[in-house]
Structure 1
Amino acid sequence: MEKRKYLVVVDPSHERHLALERMLEIVRQERKWDLEFHLIMGFEIGDKTDTETPMEVVKSSAWFEDLLHPLDELGVSYTTEYFWTRDWRQSISNAASRYDCDTIMLCESSAEHKSGITDSKWDLVRRSSCDVVIADEGTTAPIKCILAAVNTQQQDDAHVGLAERVLERGIFLAEYFEADLHVVNAYKDSENFPDRSLIRRMSGLARENVHRDMGKPEDVIAGTAEKVGADMVILGISPRKGLSATFSSRTVEKVMEKISIDVVAIS
């Protein structure tokens, strides 16, 4: 039985809590997987205008009880944590490590699409040692189609391992949600053409579910997501370090800015 431990981040500044909605969708599938959920709400230190503790603030807010009501109705077992923080990313990372979570779930907002994902969220995605799901408003239940983006042209151990992890997560999520799985591989020119048979062997997918297109990765991935009607895109964070890692990470960030559906970042 697959076991997954989720850290679900509740952002009090958001009106709609997409990470919680996605958590509910996961629970409603009623699959026979062992799932654990830890809900965490962080308050930036700049928001602290009095001496109340985070727990006192939450207890005095009826809205948070309303927020958790659907979870309680379903009988979901979860734990909660509240904190003030000067470093949002580090606090979330520490919580994920403390509870040994393998997936962090965040909430996207339409305002962030206009100016790019916030620095603290992007830094968390880039540096996280576990999967990070950024739930976005373009994804609605049920999840019917998942797109996994890979780069099979790079054949060093690190990149091959990353592609395998992306496909492995795609296969798991497609099975869990009973969704169709597609794979896309962008390439820059004819000398950089990806091997379809290799992708099929790695993924076990039919020919029509494997897509190869020439162009910038962010354009190819976003275009393919629209073409297949994807509800979720799985992306790999490059294992490279230094300046090359920065450029690679920016590519992933550009993909996230071009689509308005859930993104699963795999490192």
Structure 2
Amino acid sequence: MDRYTNILVAIAAEQEEQPALSRAILIARKSASPVKLTLFLAIYDLSYEMTSMLSSDERQAMRSGVVKQREEWLESLLAEQDTTHIDIQRHVVWHNRPYEALIGKVFDDNHDLLVKATHMHDKLGSVIFTPTDWHLLRKCPCPVLLVKEHGWPENGKILTAVNVSSDNEAHIDLNDKLISESNAIASLLNAEVHLVNAYPATPVNITVELPEFDPSSYTDAVRGHHLLTMKTLRQKHSINDDLTHVEEGLPEDVIPEVAKKLDAELVILGTTGRSGLSAVFIGNTAEHTIDQLDCDLLAIKPDGYVSPLAPASVERD
């Protein structure tokens, strides 16, 4: 059964190149089941709202005219793509917060995948002005595929980041879900699934505060634990040992390093949807990883996740 058959594609305004659209069409073409693509564009121009000389009806007419122009532009984009036998819908809205409009559309139409092109973010700017990508990673209820320029070749490699350091049931379930998603996409692309796990380095201050502490023995013990739990996970999912990677370091450093070494076309990881101050100053692994990858990133929420933007009709814990 194909995982993604109802895909929402975020269109980048005013850009001729649309990597997200190309990637979504590729998924649709490779899928054994019919796939519906919805092209989504949120537009907004403050100058139309600030024109006090116009009546509300006149402002609405101007907005409608701009929306119609953008709809025609979407048609011209599709004319450049081979969309034969693909069900494609178009949706243009006037909205000043694209991420809210996108997530609202996901809820309205029960999309099972959101595809969006991404780019490098200024580090300081990302703290002060959170990019749309970060909002989507935290708050979108369905998987989010952030697309870069790296291609998706046949017989490629998919790198899936797992957390084997915890016996928490939620982490175990998320690992299983990530691997299941990876296998589904791998069958679509005829790709090879690799697993990666990062374990922490020995804190330097411990050797200062505890002179009798043996850092090498500690490091060996930590690595041994991670290797053993990774073995249990790979055997559970029938994955060969040479397709697993257990490396020392921070996940946001280890994941891009291994992805580059493998020349992976896709990295898959889980994101918990952290919010508030911890998200602003610490961020999620997915957010720190984005800018260091030169391939696509698929971020998946754990089962039971409820978006803070969910309609009131969605049950909350």
Are the counterparts in 1 of residues 138 and 272 from structure 2 also a CA contact under 8 Å? no
Distance in 2 separating the partners of 1:34 and 1:232:
23
Question: Which runs of structure 2 are paired with 1:202-241 in the superposition (5 Å)?
Answer: 202-238=236-272
Please tell me whether residue 180 in structure 1 is matched to residue 192 in structure 2: yes
1:44–1:160 distance in 2 versus 1, CA, 3 Å: farther
Greater fraction strand: 1
Q: Which runs of 5+ in 2 are unaligned?
A: 50-58, 202-218, 302-317
Q: Aligned to 1:81, which of 91, 98, 123? A: 91
Question: Pairwise mapping of residues 95-244 of structure 1 onto structure 2 (< 5 A)?
Answer: 95-109=105-119, 111-112=120-121, 119-137=131-149, 139-142=150-153, 144-189=156-201, 190=219, 191-193=221-223, 194=226, 195-238=229-272
Sequence identity, in percent? Answer: 25
Structure 1 residues 200 and 214: CA distance shift in structure 2, 3 A: same
Separation (CA, whole Å) in 1 of partners of 2:249 and 2:43: 41
Partner SS for 1:112: coil
Give the SS at the match of 2:284.
helix
Tell me the TM-score normalised to structure 2 length. 0.75
Structure 1 residues 48-104: Cα deviation after superposition (integer angstroms, max 9, x where no partner): 58713254122454xx33311245542311111100102211111100010101111
Q: Secondary structure of the equivalent of 2:85?
A: coil
Runs of 4+ residues over 4 Å off in structure 1: 47-50, 70-73, 113-118, 239-248
Greater alpha carbon shift after TM alignment, 166-175 vs 187-196: 187-196
Q: Which amino acid aligns with 1:131?
A: P
Q: Which residue of 2 aligns with 1:20?
A: 21
2:145 maps to a residue whose letter is: V
Distance (whole Å) between structure 2 residues aligned to residue 24 and residue 6 of structure 1: 10
SS at match of 1:52: helix
TM-score norm. by structure 1 comes to: 0.87
The 1:17–1:48 alpha-carbon spacing in structure 2 relative to 1, beyond 3 Å, is farther
Larger radius of gyration: 2
**Aligned match for 1:260, one of 284, 289, 294:** 294
Give 1:177 shift: 0.7
* 3-state secondary structure, aligned to 1:258: coil
> Cα deviation per residue 1:149-175 (whole Å; 9 max; x = unaligned)?
011111212211221221111111111
Structure 2: distance between partners of 1:75 and 1:87 = 33
Answer whether contact 1:158 1:239 (CA < 8 A) is retained. Answer: no
Q: Label 1:38 to 1:211 Cα distance change in 2 as closer, same or farther (>3 A).
A: same
Of 37-46 and 212-221, more deviation after overlay is shown by 37-46
**Native 8 Å contact 2:138 2:275 kept in 1:** no
- Across the aligned residues of Structure 1 and Structure 2, the Cα RMSD in angstroms comes to 2.5
CA offsets per residue over residues 215-252 of structure 1, 9 Å max, x none?
11111101110111100100110366766666774322
| Partners of 1:87 and 1:12 in 2: CA distance | 14
